[in-house]
Amino acid sequence: MEHVIQYSYVVAAALFIYGLKQLGSPATARRGNMISAVAMLIAVVAALLDQGIVEYQWIALGVVAGAVIGGAAARMVQMTAMPEMVALFNGFGGLASLLVGWAALVPGAETFTLVTIILSILIGGVTFTGSMIAYGKLSERIGSGAVLFSGQQIVNSLIVLGILAGSVMFCLQPDNHLWLYLVVALSLVFGIMAVIPIGGADMPVVISLLNSYSGLAACAAGFAVNNNILIVAGALVGASGIILTQIMCKAMNRSLANVLFSGFGSGKVEATVVEGEIKPISAEDAYYILEAASNVAIIPGYGMAVAQAQHVVKELAELLEKNGAEVNFGIHPVAGRMPGHMNVLLAEADVPYDQLLEMDDINPRMENVDVAIVIGANDVVNPAAREIESSPIYGMPVINVDKARTVFVLKRSMASGFAGIENPLFYKDNTRMLFGDAKESIGTLIREFS
């Protein structure tokens, strides 16, 4: 029977890998996810065959409760709320790994096992509370700003020292549970302390990183309970999170250390003076320019999702295409609140994925664009990133909408963006500001067309 179980894990690992491979293209991604789910089912059934299992009622109770909660959450969640949900699920994964590590502790365990137990408790605990804080910040249940106080570094250093000391003592005296409880408590506190100094604008990096941690925690738990499939699956998730973290950091031109330790995005506004004047435009005049355009680029930001404007944007794009224009969407990697978030929001509004261009694909085409429409985006189209060396976002790759012949910026008012940085784009000669609620402004444009 042990052979059946172990070979089932081999099959499951192969299917996880094949499923992830299918995720390489939108055409096969859905099947890839199914294959991955089948792999999970095989692994779970194999685990149930374990001869050490004599009672099934607690397992059944846990599975039913988890499936009801998870299924309900997956059905009800709004696509705009995906980042919060991923953060919440990450946290549950982390806590599960913490509990497995803890439960795996048996008297007389070897030092190697003890080290992996403490690692799974530590990573799992940090992932759990860190994700809960990220969830709170993303869902705005707690303030999304960075929380900084004097002596923060000293407090954090003491916590890290406490964790190290507790871990070493635990490995030396595994029968004294005081050390175990100390590490559990401190790792939970450390997760909170690690995420509170990070501002709302940096949350895409944080959830990517926590995603990676939840995988690594599963990996450590795999070592603790001596199980291959946990290690393989956990490592795949860990690698995925690390790659996404890197992509997010690169898209913001910041190092990971800078994101984690600087408290950027806390709303400190640099006083850059921008010259020029704001040129507002009415929806009617905007219509005449759009009507004559043969190449239109739409650059959405999170503000578009907040205004629930994605469906009218899709309608406008269709009308422009019927009018003979080529329409593309330019998506900045940090346009949403998590990697790829904007693509999901547009997919929900039935925008075909081949119309969504990545930043590196749309920028070379920008000089041929007649009208670039910026909807609810600010920092990701800010030319200060190229032009003003003193700007906090200098060097960040942006979508160069200012190189298009005309730029429309749809904006509620002149307040600065999520990161609180002045935007010279609004003052450029070829920029026209279309003030008002994005949904209403586009609604007016659509009525002009029909």
CA 185/CA 341 separation, integer angstroms: 34
CB 129 within 8 A of CB 189: yes
Stretch that binds another protein, among 41-49, 139-147, 156-164, 299-307 (CB under 8 A): 41-49
Range in contact with another protein (rule: CB under 8 A) among 52-60, 140-148, 292-300, 399-407: 52-60
Window contacting another protein (CB under 8 A); options: 70-78, 150-158, 193-201, 309-317: 70-78
Amino acid identity, position 143: G
Q: Does residue 328 touch another protein according to CB under 8 A?
A: no
Closest CA to 369 of 320, 405, 323, 398: 405
Q: Is 233 in the site for another protein (CB under 8 A)?
A: yes
Candidates 63-71, 146-154, 181-189, 388-396; binding stretch for another protein (CB under 8 A)? 63-71
Which is closer to another protein, CB of 210 or CB of 410? 210
26 near another protein, rule: CB under 8 A: yes
What residue has token string 């100094």?
197
Amino acid, single-letter form, for residue 137: K
Distance CA 153, CA 57 (A): 47
Q: Considering the rule CB under 8 A, would residue 331 count as an interface residue with another protein?
A: yes
Radius of gyration (C-alpha) of the chain in whole angstroms = 25
Q: Is 395 in the site for another protein (CB under 8 A)?
A: no
Tell me how far apart the alpha carbons of residues 337 and 80 are, in angstroms, rounded to a whole number: 9
- Choosing from 50, 370, 379, 402, the catalytic residue is 379
Q: Is 239 in the site for another protein (CB under 8 A)?
A: yes
Cα separation, 345 vs 22, whole angstroms: 22
Query: Residue 321 Cβ, how far from another protein at the closest point, in Å?
Result: 10
Determine which residue in the list 27, 257, 273, 415 makes contact with another protein, applying CB under 8 A: 27
Q: How far does Cα 212 stand from its chain's mean position?
A: 11
Under the binding rule (CB under 8 A), the answer on residue 61 touching another protein is: yes
Cβ distance to another protein smaller for residue 209 or 286:
209
Closer to another protein at the Cβ: 40 or 169?
40
Question: Rounded to an integer, what distance in angstroms lies between the CA atom of residue 99 and that of residue 270?
Answer: 45
In 3D space, the residue among 82, 73, 140 whose CA is nearest the CA of residue 339 turns out to be: 82
Residue whose CB is less far from another protein, 245 or 378: 245
Q: Which of 89, 90, 124 is nearest to 104 (CA)?
A: 124
Span 421-450, contacts to another protein by CB under 8 A: none
| Residue 114 C-beta: closest distance to another protein, Å | 12
Q: How far apart are CA 450 and CA 447, in angstroms?
A: 5
Active site annotation includes 402: no
The 10 Å CB-count burial string (b at 16+, else e) for 180-207 is: bebbbebbbbbbbbbbbbbbbbbbbbbb
User: Applying CB under 8 A, does 14 fall inside the site for another protein?
Assistant: no
245 part of the interface to another protein, by CB under 8 A = no
43 binds another protein (CB under 8 A): yes
**Interacting span for another protein (CB under 8 A) from 145-153, 186-194, 351-359, 409-417:** 351-359
Where is 251: in which H helix or E strand?
Answer: helix 228-251
Half-sphere exposure of 150 (CA within 13 A, CB side): 0
381 or 410: whose CB is closer to another protein? 381
Q: Which residue in the set 180, 189, 219, 380 belongs to the binding site for another protein (CB under 8 A)?
A: 219
**Member of 1, 2, 75, 108 binding another protein (CB under 8 A):** 75
Q: What is the DSSP letter of 142?
A: S
The single residue among 129, 144, 167, 211 that binds another protein, judged by CB under 8 A, is 211
Catalytic residue positions?
A: 379
